A and B are shown apart, each in its own frame.
Chain A
């Protein structure tokens, strides 16, 4: 089906066809994507480009996900314009990293002005799994499965953090799950090293982390953020696995025409509604945060009712357990009081007090209650649907270049979730 019309490769590979012998300095890939893989369909797209599903050929076994970075375009022809820093980062980090809970890179092929990053194929991701549990009606993800997911996720994150890598974009769509229930942290496009960076971590990318998972210190304009931003996101993911909804589902305020980053008032409100207002007494750095005055104006302009009480996370948690039917006697089991304690330590306002990945792995939630399976599906009846792989020729053909139409969408997972709901 994709034999000839599938525009996975730019047609007319310039060097392969136009120039037979290698001219000095001219670049021709030694390895060709089409010689090694059969593309069987399209998985997703984002601002970076597109992801395809592929199977190995010529003796190469297995299924793969190939991430193709879109090349820049000047006029009608694709030109070499220099690779984006995020592509460079992802290539370098994925090449260097190796851990059972971090997505496994097969190879990188640079061909026809495009980058193809070939990853192992993962059948599921957390967004898809959470979505499956809301259909046809809500049914909770069993507590042992949540525990296994969280344990593997924290293991992967501990590995990244001990290697001085910040992920910076953890969200359910980026947490991949293999068909045998292994968790793989994916999409290191925003990740970077934090060991004595040359420039402050703020200067490179002004906005990081999908808004719902963005840590309060980032919302408050912090320039010195730490691995704690990833732990906040993990806390949000934990909450979402239990409640099947994003815990802090705010609306993103867009950058204005001057490209200044606005205060994310709505997102901060969503957090405050559950955790109460952050306080200088328990978060000493708060008053020196760039957006502190904005936070105060938020208090002045709103009804003070839920601002002046403390955290209601426990209330949120209890009703979450109740709605999900989590209890020691139910088939789903329960994350129990340990689960709440862990959650509250990850959703700690003060980044310096927030639990680290290492501490979280030692938490009673994991150490009590028996062994944890490395297969999060162990003991689970019924199967999760396979990843949707489309063969929508129109979609692929008409887009003159991958990703261009949808670029600018802040969050690929939003797009994908809404697309699924329509179907």
Chain B
């Protein structure tokens, strides 16, 4: 159902356990061992940073999609989820990631009711990656067929942003906290979390990070200040506090956190899952420190060019 997550295709078909996801990826690797040894690629999260964060934002800015941040972010988020799902069915080394990314974005814009003309999207993508995107719009049109087919036409995506705005009043979140939670949600698309947990768990994780850890750089976007956040999450003792939540023995934290703890205790949210999400995020911020745009670009470029994936 369109607005009911519990009956959605997202929950029924695109939610995996960690083990299942690992098996799927191992299966893809087994099918193409040669390419794997020939074309080593950086950590998937670093590739995600390379594509999603920096490049998508650039395209979006070029296209001036909508006036509000929420418009753009929702289309980006949907495109990111399409990519993740697509690459559970296809080995990245069999595709041109640049083309798949552009197509996912083109499709997500239509799905999120901000359609962009195919020529325009191809033109802008060519501006960014002239060596990887051909001017032939039919290429993108063809890739759209492949993408929809691999996604089994299941194109409606539920995002944590909605839960976040729904809980804003209930948990009396400040605009700083909302902004920070929002950027944490943006960041989670760089990890496997959208394939592992339902959107409301992610939203609650983001709220906890925003309220409990209170990093010094709020509304860091995109991705700046993440090391500060990682630092405060590692060192601030927040982890212990969060762990304490699951024991329901939160004694003496500030009223705001007490309120959050009380709310969590009454809700039936899976606290363990929330903690796991938080750890995933910390580990993303640690990996982020190794990010090198140059190395991502080189490795991908070598793969695409030598396999003629852009033809």
Binding-face segment, A20-28, A167-175, A257-265, A408-416: A20-28
Give the chain A neighbours of B143 by CB distance below 8 A.
25, 27
Report if B191 contacts A (CB, 8 A): no
Please tell me if the beta carbons of A193 and B3 are within 8 angstroms of each other in the complex: yes
Given A25-B309, A95-B154: A80 and B3 within 8 A (CB)? no
Report if A110 contacts B (CB, 8 A): yes
Bits for A167-201, please: 1 = Cβ < 8 Å to B, else 0. Answer: 00000000000000000000000001101111100
Please tell me if the beta carbons of A83 and B1 are within 8 angstroms of each other in the complex: no
How many inter-chain contacts with C-beta < 8 Å in the A-B complex?
Answer: 122
Bits for A149-163, please: 1 = Cβ < 8 Å to B, else 0. Answer: 000000000000011
Interface residues of chain B: helix, strand, loop or mixed (majority): helix
Question: Which of the listed residues B1, B94, B156 has the most CB atoms from chain A within 10 Å of its own CB?
Answer: B1
Q: Count chain B residues whose beta carbon lies closer than 8 angstroms to a beta carbon of A.
A: 47
Please tell me if the beta carbons of A25 and B139 are within 8 angstroms of each other in the complex: yes
Report if A91 contacts B (CB, 8 A): yes
Please tell me if the beta carbons of B118 and A82 are within 8 angstroms of each other in the complex: yes
Binding-face segment, B104-112, B172-180, B281-289: B104-112
B139 to A, closest residue via Cβ:
A25
Give the chain A neighbours of B66 by CB distance below 8 A.
198-199
Partner of B96, one of A24, A83, A199: A24
Please tell me if the beta carbons of A198 and B113 are within 8 angstroms of each other in the complex: yes
Given A24-B307, A24-B309, A27-B146: A198 and B110 within 8 A (CB)? no
Give the chain A neighbours of B307 by CB distance below 8 A.
24
B106 to A, closest residue via Cβ:
A82
Please tell me if the beta carbons of B156 and A92 are within 8 angstroms of each other in the complex: yes
Partner of B142, one of A25, A97, A204: A25
Bound Cα distance from A97 to B99, whole angstroms? 30
Report if A29 contacts B (CB, 8 A): yes
Nearest-Cβ distance from residue B251 to partner chain A, whole angstroms: 39
Please tell me if the beta carbons of B1 and A96 are within 8 angstroms of each other in the complex: yes
Residues of chain A in range 87-112 having any CB-CB distance to chain B below 8 Å: 88-89, 91-93, 95-98, 108, 110
Report if B148 contacts A (CB, 8 A): yes
Give the chain A neighbours of B70 by CB distance below 8 A.
198
Report if A165 contacts B (CB, 8 A): yes
Please tell me if the beta carbons of B113 and A197 are within 8 angstroms of each other in the complex: yes
27 pairs from A and B in contact (CB 8 Å cutoff): A24-B308, A25-B95, A25-B96, A25-B99, A25-B139, A25-B311, A27-B143, A30-B149, A79-B141, A80-B137, A80-B142, A80-B145, A81-B138, A82-B137, A82-B140, A83-B141, A85-B110, A88-B107, A91-B148, A95-B155, A95-B156, A96-B154, A163-B3, A165-B2, A193-B3, A199-B114, A204-B115
Which residues from chain B sit less than 8 Å from chain A, CB to CB?
1-4, 7-9, 66, 70-71, 74-75, 94-96, 99, 106-107, 110-115, 118, 137-146, 148-149, 152-156, 162, 307-309, 311
